Structure 1
Amino acid sequence: MTTQEIGFVEADDYLHPVSDNFYENETFWFSFFVPERNIGAWIYVGVRQNAGITHGGLWLWDDTAVDPWDLPFYEGFSALKMPTFDGPKLISPTGATIEVIEPGEVYDVRYEDRNRISVELSFRGFERPVPLLRGAPPYPAASHYDQTGRVTGHLILDGERIDVECCAMRDRSWGPRTERGYGRVGYTWLADPECSLLTYSVPTDTTDRVHTGYVRRGNEVSRLVGGERKVVRDPARAWVDRLEIAVTDEHGGEVVATGTARSRMILPGATNVCINTLLEFEIDGRTVYGEDQDVWSIEQFRRARSSRT
């Protein structure tokens, strides 16, 4: 038995009561990948109940572009009407629907825009949702769960059908979240049926400290107690080209994984930028796919890029 907090309950698949804080925000995020095409994608729904709006959309990238306007598909809304529920199904005005098939375990996820893309996926978790410890960055005032799983299904983009069979990550969070004050965050994960690894780190210009996360080996989940994320960055653009994760779990077990970038996208926010990179990892002699989310304030990212020219 590990110290994993078995805290996720059926009600956590739905919207939560909110405080009187205007910046209350609740998020539903599902990723999926087609590694042989270097395709990465997110379906993201955010709900600000006190503001009365839904935000989010679908972002899909490959190795042909990195800027939002050049990606194969980019649709991000900031202020649509609130979502509705039809029993266990969240229906978002962004075009996303998320249906709970088995609470905390199995979900059907769809996305339909008005003319270009149609997505039908099923997510089945490898482990129960794992909570971020209360008070831990980057969400010290919010509740947050992460979960890896197998994703199957397909998408149709501009008339082309692309089958999806991958291992990917989803997360859930709820609590106050403003659009200012973002600092640097490293969020790196990888998964296959044998192992899942998630790390949160505090990036620096050299070696980053991993301060929390978890590893799943088979059916056993253990929290991380320390480690490093070493990044080799593009000399001009400052984004991740290669990285190495070396961590220790609560039982003294060690995990080392090395990753090479396959594709990436730049996802801008109001005051921050997130570079999402699809990575091909080597771990225990196996090839495993995952993602790195490299978050900067726009000011920090601008300085880092200008110092390299």
Structure 2
Amino acid sequence: MIRPEDAQFHPPTSDDPLWAETNYFGLYAGQDTDRPMNIGLYGLFREPLGVVGSTVSVNSRRVRAPWEADYWDAWEHLVVPQPSNLLDYELANGLKVVATDPHRIWDVSYSDPAADLEIRFRYTALHEPYDINDPAMDPLAAGKDMAKTWGHAYAGHFDQSGHYEGEIRLRGVTTPIDCVSTMDHSWGVRAERQTSRLSWMHAHAGTDLVLHGLFDFSTDNGPDGESPLRLTHGYVVENGELRGLKAGGGVTKRSHLYPEQISISVTDTADTVWNAEGRALTTFPWQSQPGVVGHNALLRWDLDGRTAYGECMDFVGMGELGAVYDRVHDPK
């Protein structure tokens, strides 16, 4: 169970200097227009080292280099503000986060005057944090594989969907923010080299229907091949009721490893089957840290007959990416 105090920093359970805590706020604006913007604000705190990495991205395009997006900013060695406080912090890159009501309300802003960028929003949770490590909440928690690098990084982890309200101004153009999307917070040993994969995705039809899932996948079929998906964790929120997912899978069709089309079918603890088909509107190579690429896309979904929006983040470590493209360029 996630408690209000889990919004704060946790005492490390390991002497590994790569212990980390994260806050990720993913959202979108103008989703009903011909140029929807996918927005991500992230902090990766390595408190034992006294540093925090932070990235901010705004992307309405199909790009394969981060500098081709509408906006990209990445810092790796910001100083953790002292006294350290994950409930109220402001970083030197312009990111400010305040947990006004822990696990219910966050107020977030970001400013980069040089790029004429201002982002401000309030996030209001739709449900209690979903603890992927609690068998009482997540029916798949008992079968998790902690040997994987994402298992260590997610030793403590919750996902939560909520309503984002605010605005973004970029280069003189202001766009309202009014969407339902998903944030997360994790704590554990986060290795610099990722050796396992993670597909983190969701579809939001409104405040009354949300589907969020984490899946395992393989790169064996190459950067343009299909990837079967195996559900590892997830939930549905239907009319305010939060239910864990107990089974499911799907397939992702790819281009250069970016998800172009996703089909999933999952079953919740009430034995309701949910089917979703998503098509990519954007692509963006998000490097949450130097050793991994999140092949990111904002998708428009058909969620059991309802239009929904949400992103997919397919994380692959640099070593595996090198092997994938080596097979393409130098087939044995």
Q: TM-score, normalised by structure 2?
A: 0.84
- Aligned pair partner of 2:250 in 216, 229, 235: 229
Asked if residue 238 in structure 1 is aligned to residue 257 in structure 2, the reply is yes
In structure 2, the residue matched to 1:99 is 98
1:144-166 C-alpha deviation (Å, 9 max, x unpaired): 01001111111111222121111
Q: Contact (CA 8 Å) 1:18, 1:49: kept in 2 or not? A: no
In structure 1, the residue matched to 2:71 is 73
In structure 1, the residue matched to 2:21 is 26
**SS of 1:22's equivalent?**
coil
Instruction: Give runs of aligned pairs for residues 55-70 of structure 1, distance below 5 A.
Output: 55-63=53-61, 65-70=63-68
1:209 is aligned with what amino acid?
R
Whole-angstrom CA distance in 2 between matches of 1:240 and 1:308: 18
Q: Contact (CA 8 Å) 1:199, 1:210: kept in 2 or not? A: yes
Give how far 1:18 is off: 2.2
- Aligned pair partner of 1:281 in 280, 301, 304: 301
Give how far 1:95 is off: 1.4
Q: Contact (CA 8 Å) 2:260, 2:280: kept in 1 or not? A: yes
1:107 is aligned with what amino acid?
W
1:240 is aligned with what amino acid?
P
**SS of 1:55's equivalent?**
strand
1:5-33 C-alpha deviation (Å, 9 max, x unpaired): xx222222222222422111011110110
Structure 1 residues 190 and 80: alpha-carbon distance in aligned structure 2, compared to 1, 3 A threshold: same
In structure 1, the residue matched to 2:183 is 170
- Taking every aligned residue pair, what percent have the same amino acid on both sides? 22
Give how far 1:39 is off: 0.9
1:180-212 C-alpha deviation (Å, 9 max, x unpaired): 133221111112212111111111344221122
1:200-253 C-alpha deviation (Å, 9 max, x unpaired): 11113442211221111112111111111211112xx23211011101112211
**SS of 2:283's equivalent?**
strand
Whole-angstrom CA distance in 2 between matches of 1:281 and 1:230: 14
1:297 is aligned with what amino acid?
G
Instruction: Give runs of aligned pairs for residues 83-232 of structure 1, distance below 5 A.
Output: 83-84=81-82, 88-116=87-115, 117-133=117-133, 136=144, 138-140=150-152, 142-191=155-204, 192-204=206-218, 205=221, 206-232=227-253
Instruction: Give runs of aligned pairs for residues 11-22 of structure 1, distance below 5 A.
Output: 11-19=5-13, 20-22=15-17
Give how far 1:306 is off: 5.7
1:256-299 C-alpha deviation (Å, 9 max, x unpaired): 00000000101234332111110000012110001111111224
**SS of 1:50's equivalent?**
helix
Please give the root-mean-square deviation of Cα atoms over the aligned residues, in Å. 2.1
Unaligned runs of 5+ in 2: 135-140, 222-226
Structure 1 residues 86 and 291: alpha-carbon distance in aligned structure 2, compared to 1, 3 A threshold: closer
Q: Contact (CA 8 Å) 2:257, 2:295: kept in 1 or not? A: no
Give how far 1:124 is off: 0.8
- Aligned pair partner of 1:296 in 310, 316, 321: 316
Q: Contact (CA 8 Å) 2:195, 2:319: kept in 1 or not? A: no
- Aligned pair partner of 1:257 in 276, 280, 289: 276
Q: Contact (CA 8 Å) 1:201, 1:229: kept in 2 or not? A: no
**SS of 1:94's equivalent?**
coil
Structure 1 residues 144 and 259: alpha-carbon distance in aligned structure 2, compared to 1, 3 A threshold: same
Q: Contact (CA 8 Å) 2:167, 2:174: kept in 1 or not? A: yes
Unaligned runs of 5+ in 1: 1-6
Q: Contact (CA 8 Å) 1:57, 1:95: kept in 2 or not? A: no
Q: Contact (CA 8 Å) 1:55, 1:94: kept in 2 or not? A: no
Whole-angstrom CA distance in 2 between matches of 1:195 and 1:261: 20
1:31 is aligned with what amino acid?
G
Question: Bigger shift: 134-143 or 248-257?
Answer: 134-143
**SS of 1:115's equivalent?**
helix
